[in-house]
Amino acid sequence: MTESSPEAFESDQPSESFADLFPGPEDWVALQGGKPRVFRNPTHPDSVWLVSHVYEEQTNAQQRFQNGLIVPTLPPGSEIPTSRLGITRRNFEGKTIQRDIVIPSFMLRAVHGDTCNVRSSSIGGDAYRKIRSQQEYESFIDNLRLRGFQEIRFGLAKEGFKLTPYQEIKPPKPLNPGQ
């Protein structure tokens, strides 16, 4: 795994576009079980963001809440520190494929979630909050809405990757679609 700014990928890897390196839902699942959600307080944009490692791509509770960490993180600033990762997964035809993807480093659980949680506990700090159920997750999202938080989504722009704040936080997906 390597880390650098989005601009470095353009110059280091001219044959790859940002779209080629952008992870799809299947890539997030293969990487760490799913894509985390990111929240911030728009009245204090430089204050700590919250990264939720509850994976809504999963429809069963054990997989959705396999980690459940809520990781406080500092906003990345004007340049988004990224991690480039090689993953192996199956495609829709069942064939094994290998892909290189780039994600914001703070969304990578192995680097910025689990490790920081252990470090915080080992130096006498509190362990990070963990969400273990759908009811707890829905309460967490409702609380963020009541406090005026925004959701931030990782996406693509002409010049590279971007983090876009949305005015509304989307509701949590139900565990079993159709309920």
Number of structural domains the chain divides into? 1
Average pLDDT over residues 69-77: 88
Neighbours of 69 (CB within 10 A): 20
Which of these, 151, 1, 166, 28, lies nearest to 82 by C-alpha position? 1
Q: Per the domain annotation, does 91 fall within a domain?
A: yes
Q: Per the domain annotation, does 80 fall within a domain?
A: yes
Q: Per the domain annotation, does 174 fall within a domain?
A: no
Q: Per the domain annotation, does 74 fall within a domain?
A: yes
Q: Per the domain annotation, does 170 fall within a domain?
A: no
Which of these, 147, 169, 164, 154, lies nearest to 43 by C-alpha position? 147
pLDDT at 176: 77
Neighbours of 142 (CB within 10 A): 13
Q: Per the domain annotation, does 61 fall within a domain?
A: yes
CB 149 within 8 A of CB 142: no
Convert the pLDDT of each residue in 163-176 to its tens digit: 899 989 999 999 87
Distance between CA atoms of 49 and 175, rounded to whole angstroms? 25
What's the pLDDT band for 1 if we cut at 50, 70, 90? very low
pLDDT at 5: 36
- Write down the pTM of the prediction: 0.82
Amino acid identity of 9?
Answer: F
Convert the pLDDT of each residue in 94-136 to its tens digit: 999 999 999 999 999 887 666 665 665 566 666 678 999 999 9
pLDDT at 172: 94
Q: Per the domain annotation, does 158 fall within a domain?
A: yes
Domain coverage including residue 83: 2-165
Average pLDDT over residues 133-158: 94
How is 150-175 classified by DSSP, letter by letter?
Answer: EEEEEEEETTEEEEEEESSPPPPPPS
pLDDT at 2: 40
